[in-house]
């Protein structure tokens, strides 16, 4: 099933009502790991709204991405507590081991590496998240082991 077919499937799960725009975009993001121009156009057409309205929503919400992401997204918290406890060193080790910079996607499309402002787990600082899993008290020395185990979901 191609991207267009998957997008059509997502669209048809929702009523053709503009108030479902954000729900549709979130579902497309979940299905595709990003929102392509084609997906935005399809959503606009399906809901009978302008493409600029869809684009405005996509660019407003930080959780929505126009850039293709890996199947697994690793997020390094850069909040104050995490930063003070070494999250920068953890980020650099992840960049080194994955061969990408923050915001990048590995060549095999497996991982995206991102930084976030705060995950709200300051007592566990520094924190790395992947999917619904939180890795607290992270250290650069733990990165290779976690990658080898496939711990990042």
- pLDDT tens for 67-101 read 999 999 999 999 999 999 999 999 999 999 999 99
Instruction: Provide, rounded to the nearest whole percent, the portion of the chain with pLDDT above 90.
Output: 90
Any bridge partners for residue 105, and if so which? 112
CA distance 113 to 148: 16
pLDDT interval class at 145 (50, 70, 90): very high
pLDDT interval class at 153 (50, 70, 90): confident
Mean pLDDT taken over the chain:
95
Domain spans of the chain, in order of start: 3-60, 72-149
Domain 3-60 fold: Arc Repressor Mutant, subunit A (1.10.10)
Do 3-60 and 72-149 fold alike per CATH? no
pLDDT interval class at 12 (50, 70, 90): very high
CB 77 within 8 A of CB 47: no
Average pLDDT over residues 55-78: 93
The whole-model pTM stands at: 0.78
CA distance 119 to 146: 20
Q: What is the pLDDT of residue 4?
A: 86
| Burial classification of residue 120, based on how many CB atoms lie within 10 Å of its CB (0-12 exposed, 13-18 middle, 19 or more buried) | exposed
Instruction: Provide, rounded to the nearest whole percent, the portion of the chain with pLDDT above 70.
Output: 100
Average pLDDT over residues 124-140: 96
Q: What is the pLDDT of residue 60?
A: 96
CA distance 2 to 5: 5
Domain 72-149 fold: Glutaredoxin (3.40.30)
CB 24 within 8 A of CB 10: yes
Q: What is the pLDDT of residue 62?
A: 81
Average pLDDT over residues 118-134: 95
Residue 107 has pLDDT above 80, yes or no: yes
């Amino acid at each position: 099933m191609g991207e267009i077919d998957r997008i059509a499937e997502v669209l048809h799960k929702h009523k053709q009502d503009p108030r479902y725009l954000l729900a549709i975009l979130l579902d497309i993001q979940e299905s595709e790991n990003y929102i392509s121009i084609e997906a935005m156009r399809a959503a606009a057409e399906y809901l009978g709204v302008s493409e600029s309205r869809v684009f405005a929503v996509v660019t407003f919400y930080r959780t929505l991405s126009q850039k293709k992401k890996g199947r697994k997204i690793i997020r390094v918290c850069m909040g104050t507590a995490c930063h003070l406890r070494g999250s920068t060193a953890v980020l650099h080790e992840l960049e080194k081991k994955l061969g990408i910079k923050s915001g990048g996607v590995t060549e095999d499309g497996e991982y995206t590496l991102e930084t976030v402002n705060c995950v709200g787990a300051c007592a566990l600082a520094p924190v790395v998240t992947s999917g619904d899993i939180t890795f607290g008290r992270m250290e650069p020395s733990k990165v290779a082991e976690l990658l080898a185990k496939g711990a990042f979901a």
